[in-house]
Homo-oligomer: A and B are copies of this chain.
Amino acid sequence: MVIVHVYVHVKAEEVQAFRDAALENARKSVQEPGIARFDVIQQQDDPDRFILVEVYRSEADIVKHKETQHYKIWRETVAEMMAEPRRGVKFTNVYPSDERWD
């Protein structure tokens, strides 16, 4: 799997709006066949910070995700909510193995 953690820091006044937009995007993203998981989590000691935990079956599936309508809407919707630019980091799974992420 290709796992992408997207580190997001939003403006304090945009937290609820960001949650709403991220939820909408996650619900649609998990329906893509190339996506095994699309979690959205909020940091407990700093609720302006979120991570999108995106689990793709392949690199090609990342490209496909970025071509979807819901991704484009999300990107547009959250653009002005950021306190600083988002940062994505890529990982490979050690555990569990590929067949056990669904």
Q: Give the interface of A toward B (CB within 8 A).
A: 3, 5, 19, 22-23, 26-27, 30, 38-45, 50-51, 53, 89-96
Q: A4: nearest residue on chain B (CB-CB)?
A: B44
Partner of A44, one of B41, B92, B94: B92
Partner of A93, one of B3, B5, B41, B96: B41
How many chain copies?
2
A contact patch SS: strand
Distance between Cα atoms of A100 and B96 in the complex (Å): 18
Minimum CB distance partner of A94 in chain B: B40
- Distance A92 CA – B50 CA, assembled complex (angstroms): 9
User: Which among B38, B41, B90 is the interface contact of A91 at CB below 8 angstroms?
Assistant: B41
Residues of chain B within 8 A of A38, CB atoms compared = 95
Select one of B5, B22, B90, B91 contacting A95, CB under 8 A: B22
Interchain CB contact under 8 A, A95 and B39? yes
B50 touches A94 (CB 8 A): yes
With the chains together, A3 CA to B41 CA distance in Å? 8
